[in-house]
Structure 1
Amino acid sequence: MSMTARTRRLSAALAVTTALVLGATACGGTTKSDTEKEESSSGSAAKADPGAATEKGLTVAFLPKQVNNPYFTTSDNGGKKALAALGSTYKEVGTSSGTDTSGQVSYVNTLTQQQVDGIAVSAQDPGALCTALKQAMKNGVSVVTYDSDTRTGCRDVFVSQASAEDLGRTQVQQMAKQIGDKGEIAILSAAQTATNQNTWIDFMKDELKKPEYKGIKLVKIAYGDDDAQKSFQQTQGLLQEHPRLKGIISPTTVGIKAAAQYLSGSKYKGKVKLTGLGTPNDMRAYVKNGTVDAFELWDPAKLGALAAHTAVALESGQITGKQGETFEAGDLGSFTIGEDGVVSLGKPTVFDAKNIGDYHF
């Protein structure tokens, strides 16, 4: 780890801890606000210097929800390419299951012991990693979440694919357009605890409350745990349980591909609409054969690259994670950190028969 970054972050944490000890001695206890300060003591006391030189020779580890998942392979390779251009080192670790929270915790602890400079993690559960990530930050590690967030006090910055609201609402808008604003729909999600999925679904539900969607009824939310076979089976189950189903929204790349696979070989092909979040390479055949009209996503390689740039900017002292701070991310451009330490990649892209041939990821 860069000694400059380590010294800066550890000094900030020590300063807050000292203040807490003195406050507890004087007052006879720790207040709620003291606890909140301690939870966010990973360097927030330090001041950002947007003009600081970009540090080189750092090691940033990517910890995706699931290794060997095509989506995360693409995303993490984007991070790898960005780190190479920045003069730093990339590594990837992770579990083969999208629901192994204890495995993710173990990897965070190991990376902290290895004294990596930064960790970019896509959290399987919003709270399970918190203790381990807080310890990493206290040890001077910059923590960035990408794709799926933890609680705000457990990381420095969350790199969001797009605004959660945009992603949730636009998927409903896509579905409504495809079914003519009328009929029963279902959602095929990933894990029941997945932070990003649940946030998007909340916005989907809110969007469906609008008068223009009064003819649409959400009948069920199913969970495929980002497992292809289970997602395939869940799709079959949804159609058996709800024979009048008009459409399925699947905000997960594994889920939408599995659902498309089932629909394309069934009597429901072209009759039950499917949209959500998928990659062009996974969905190309299903768009061409008429199973899927349109779906959306961001460029996962750019998401990984932005996560890498964010980690390096944190380690370089260019940002601390506070709202309003700005930093440069190479060819991706300039970014501003928003509320709760969130930076968004941009608007989602809609893929259909007209443009899907232009994308290869």
Structure 2
Amino acid sequence: MRTLTRRSTLLGAVGLSVALAMTGCGKAETGSDSGDSGSDSKALNVVFIPKNLGNPYFDASDKGGKTAVEALGGTFSEVGPQEASPDAQVQYINTAAQQHASAIVISANDPKAVGSALTQAKSGGTKVVTFDSDTEAQYRDLFINQASPEGIAKAQVDGLAEQIGDSGEIAILSAAANATNQNAWIELMKTELKENHPDIKLVDTVYGNDDDQTSFDKTAALLQTHPDLKGIISPTTVGIAAAARYLSTSKSKGKVALTGLGTPNQMRKYVEDGTVTEFYLWNPTDLGTLAAYAAAALANGEITGKEGDQFTAGDLGSYTVGADQTVLLGDPTGFNKDNIDDFDF
């Protein structure tokens, strides 16, 4: 199986930081003051708002963000809803803006539902960086893209095609039906299948809403509805883990291939027991790290977010803002028995 390279994860942090008070906003990571962030007028404080708390993917990305913000001498906070839904993040955006956060870093549950709140935050001087799942462009200053949508779609389709002999019925187990990134990847998967894998038929797309039990049940239903199914793609960390959990104890283990986007720690046992041959992901810790450095560069006036702007993201190196105010982290990584123990996130 093909294994793509990854960027090294930022190591260590210097200094501690003062907690940004986020009253009524759920979980927050805090520290103690370590001095000026690089701005003469205001200490750096960055609020990360994931799609939902308790999600292993966002635990990893926000860990990278925390390390980066504290390395810059700033304050890091993580707040957000327990369940992902279109408007669940609005109250956390509003509170961060009221607390005059330097920047909000958000993975949007919906491209439009948080738009008004983000617009108001921006009008008050808070910079807005989206990562993982974008909003409409007018609502943010930068989008930190984990990998190109085309690269993500192609890696998953090609990987599954190789596992099932490039023919047969497959299905997609996605997150929420209105998730921006999921829908973009699915459309590109359909194009990739049509153009390069004509003998593979996509027979169904179902939605687990990034909920473990719902995704587990949807996997069971897929196998019952489509008895000739040869493979499942789940481009969501919650979905692929739930699908693997179901397959690992079912009669379909070893018969129905599963791939998608997952983290090594949650998928390791399913790779080791043969339920999953290979799956994909960028390094979410690196993604959070890059988003934090971008947010700091915006807040400190080092960049404005226009195409061609350049900034340094610690050990990750130098990045350039591309078209549509987008910064690209890099290519996804393929995880399999040969390399999965090299990663810990």
Task: With the length of structure 1 as denominator, give the TM-score of the two structures.
Answer: 0.84
Query: SS at the partner of 1:317?
Result: coil
Alignment match, 1:96: 82
Corresponding residue number in structure 2 for 1:59: 45
% identical equivalent positions: 58
Of 179, 184, 190, 1:199 maps to 184
SS at match of 1:186: strand
Query: 1:54·1:313 contact (CA, 8 Å) conserved in 2?
Result: no
- Structure richer in helix, relative to its length: 1
Alignment of 1:312-351 (within 5 A): 312-351=296-335
Unmatched segments (≥5 aa) in structure 1? 1-52
The answer to whether residue 124 in structure 2 is matched with residue 165 in structure 1 is no
Residue 108 of structure 2 is matched in structure 1 by: 123
| Alignment pair present for 1:156 and 2:153 | no
3-state SS of paired residue (2:241): helix
Look up the match of 2:339. 355
**Residues 131-156 of structure 1, C-alpha deviations (whole Å, 9 max, x = no match):** 11011111100000011100011000
> Partner of 1:39 in structure 2?
none
Partner letter of residue 84 of structure 2?
G
**Structure 2: how far apart are the matches of 1:64 and 1:150?**
13
TM-score normalised by length of structure 2: 0.87
Q: Which structure's CA Rg is the greater one?
A: 1
Give per-residue Cα distances to partners, 1:252-291, cap 9 Å, x unaligned: 0000000000000000001100000000001000001000
Q: 1 CA distance for matches of 2:98 and 2:230?
A: 51
Structure 2 stretches lacking a partner, 5+ long = 1-36
What's 1:137 paired with? 122
Report deviation, 1:103: 2.5
Structure 1 runs (4+) deviating above 2 angstroms are 53-57
C-alpha separation between the residues in 2 aligned to 1:328 and 1:357? 29
Return the offset for 1:57: 2.5
Asked if the contact 1:183/1:245 (under 8 Å) is kept, the reply is: yes
> Which amino acid in the other structure matches residue 273 of structure 2?
N
Deviation at 1:227, TM superposition (A): 0.1
Q: Distance in 1 between matches of 2:166 and 2:305?
A: 41
Q: How many residues are matched?
A: 307
Q: Does structure 2 conserve the Cα–Cα contact (< 8 Å) formed by 1:54 and 1:312?
A: no
- Please, what is the CA RMSD of the aligned residues? 1.1
Q: Does residue 132 of structure 2 align to residue 147 of structure 1?
A: yes
**1:124-180 CA distances to partner (integer Å, 9 max, x unpaired)?**
001001111011111100000011100011000001111111101111111111111
Q: Which residue of 2 aligns with 1:240?
A: 224
Aligned-residue offset at 1:54: 4.2
Which of 57, 66, 71 aligns to 2:57? It is 71
Aligned counterparts of 2:300 and 2:43: Cα–Cα separation in 1: 11
